[in-house]
């Protein structure tokens, strides 16, 4: 992109994005079909936490259930605790505050991306016109928050700040544990230890307000989630097959194939540089989840910025693919995971456990018998 007009373009796109966010709040607040739909779950969970000491409902603790019905709370106690201050406002006022807070987090996420300034501005502008971002802000969901935490991990990769962000993200989206597994594969034990230690600290800081049992209850809730393929709005590979009229066995096969491709992509990314491997791993967390709502694709902002920073400007169009029908969501997530492989490497490839194994196997080979002299 020519430098003489790259900066004006970036500033212009970012300005349009900011204007669009303002119009969104003005036109949608209290009137859009899905306005604050998910915030209701967090808000009610916070009210239950204050009044009953638990954010969880009986139906999610009693036995297997299908997620999706209005108001079901499936997260750790942390989001409910964080939502307690919002309960001092009416739900309609809390929805506006929550919207503004997440736009600020989105702006911070773009500002913290370890990419050139013009790329950060362009990504913010593109985000404003991305359906997953718009939908997430409308729903009052936490996908933008998870995207912000992912950017913090990216910026401070292998460092304590990144480990803290990962620990917090795990309380919202457990599949982010794949990043911790990626650290283990790379033999990066220090950031892995930081994540565990800081995760314990995060839980400990909640204990004056939330009983430890509530954290165990969250585990029960996660184990009780069942039969998620084909539930309304779920867009994982299996559900996409059912949506297109395919049989259940084919849906299961597609879901397992998505898992396998994600694992292979993460392992293959270890042959490339550290940052590229991280972005691939981050996107793989979407395919390894049995629940894939379309607003999870807010994460596409990360590979978009990564690719643009490495000269692949077409990557900025990735977040706009979210306008495709829901049946395409798993393919979009797959594309977001595989696209970083098309970027050039910068720096040495990441070292991993496979290098250690290969090195030891190499040293352990039998030397050929040589004639004595």
Beta-carbon count within 10 A of 102 CB: 23
**Domain assignment present for 233:** yes
**Domain assignment present for 291:** yes
- The domain total for the chain is 1
CA distances in angstroms from 340 to 226, 232, 265, 273, 366, listed in the order given: 33, 31, 11, 11, 40
Q: What is the pLDDT of residues 229-245, one digit of tens each?
A: 878 778 888 888 888 88
Contact 251, 258 (CB under 8 A): no
pLDDT of 347 reads: 79
**Domain assignment present for 66:** yes
Alpha carbon distance 69, 142 (integer Å): 17
Mean of per-residue pLDDT scores for the chain: 88
**Domain assignment present for 118:** yes
**Domain assignment present for 251:** yes
**Domain assignment present for 231:** yes
**Domain assignment present for 191:** yes
- From the list 81, 99, 86, 93, the residue with the least C-alpha distance to 25 is 99
Alpha carbon distance 150, 153 (integer Å): 5
- From the list 189, 192, 173, 350, the residue with the least C-alpha distance to 279 is 350
**Domain assignment present for 367:** no
CA distances in angstroms from 261 to 59, 94, 145, 368, listed in the order given: 34, 40, 26, 40
pLDDT of 284 reads: 97
Phi, psi of 367 (to 5 degrees): -75, 145
Phi, psi of 126 (to 5 degrees): -65, -40
Domain encompassing residue 348: 24-352
pLDDT of 372 reads: 39
pLDDT in tens, the chain (373 residues): 555 556 666 667 666 666 666 666 656 555 556 778 889 999 999 999 999 999 999 999 998 888 876 678 999 999 999 999 999 999 989 998 999 999 999 999 999 999 999 999 999 999 988 999 999 998 999 999 999 999 999 999 999 999 999 999 999 999 999 999 999 999 999 999 999 999 999 999 999 999 999 999 999 999 998 888 878 778 888 888 888 888 888 988 999 999 999 999 999 999 999 999 999 999 999 999 888 989 999 999 999 999 999 999 999 999 999 999 888 999 999 999 999 999 999 877 777 777 777 777 765 544 444 443 3
Alpha carbon distance 102, 120 (integer Å): 17
pLDDT of 25 reads: 62
């Amino acid at each position: 992109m020519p430098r003489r007009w790259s900066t004006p373009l970036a500033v212009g796109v970012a300005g349009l994005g900011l204007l669009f966010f303002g119009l969104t709040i003005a036109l949608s607040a209290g009137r859009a079909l899905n306005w604050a739909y998910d915030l209701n779950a967090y808000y009610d969970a916070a009210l239950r936490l204050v009044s009953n000491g638990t954010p969880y409902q009986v139906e999610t603790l009693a036995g297997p259930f299908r997620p999706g019905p209005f108001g079901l709370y499936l997260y750790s106690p942390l989001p409910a605790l964080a939502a307690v201050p919002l309960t001092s406002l009416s739900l309609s006022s809390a929805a506006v505050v929550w919207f503004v807070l997440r736009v600020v987090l989105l702006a911070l996420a773009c500002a913290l991306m370890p990419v050139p300034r013009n790329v950060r501005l362009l990504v913010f502008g593109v985000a404003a016109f991305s359906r997953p971002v718009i939908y997430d802000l409308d729903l009052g969901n936490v996908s933008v928050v998870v995207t912000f935490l992912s950017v913090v991990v990216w910026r401070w990769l292998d460092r304590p700040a990144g480990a803290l962000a990962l620990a917090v993200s795990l309380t919202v989206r457990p599949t982010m544990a794949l990043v911790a597994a990626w650290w283990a594969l790379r033999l990066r034990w220090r950031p892995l230890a930081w994540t565990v230690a800081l995760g314990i600290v995060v839980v400990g800081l909640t204990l004056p307000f939330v009983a430890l049992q509530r954290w165990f209850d969250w585990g029960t809730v996660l184990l009780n989630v069942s039969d998620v393929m084909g539930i309304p709005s779920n867009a994982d590979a299996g559900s996409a097959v059912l949506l297109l009229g395919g049989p259940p066995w084919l849906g299961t096969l597609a879901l397992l194939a998505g898992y396998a491709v994600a694992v292979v992509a993460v392992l293959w990314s270890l042959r490339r540089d550290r940052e590229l491997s991280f972005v691939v791993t981050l996107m793989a967390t979407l395919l390894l989840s049995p629940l894939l709502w379309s607003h999870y694709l807010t994460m596409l902002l990360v590979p978009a910025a990564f690719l643009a920073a490495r000269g692949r400007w077409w990557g900025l169009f990735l977040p706009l693919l979210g306008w495709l029908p829901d049946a395409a969501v798993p393919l979009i997530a797959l594309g977001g995971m595989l696209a970083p492989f098309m970027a050039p490497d910068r720096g040495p490839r990441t070292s991993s456990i496979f290098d250690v194994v290969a090195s030891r196997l190499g040293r352990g080979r039998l030397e050929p018998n040589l004639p004595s002299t």
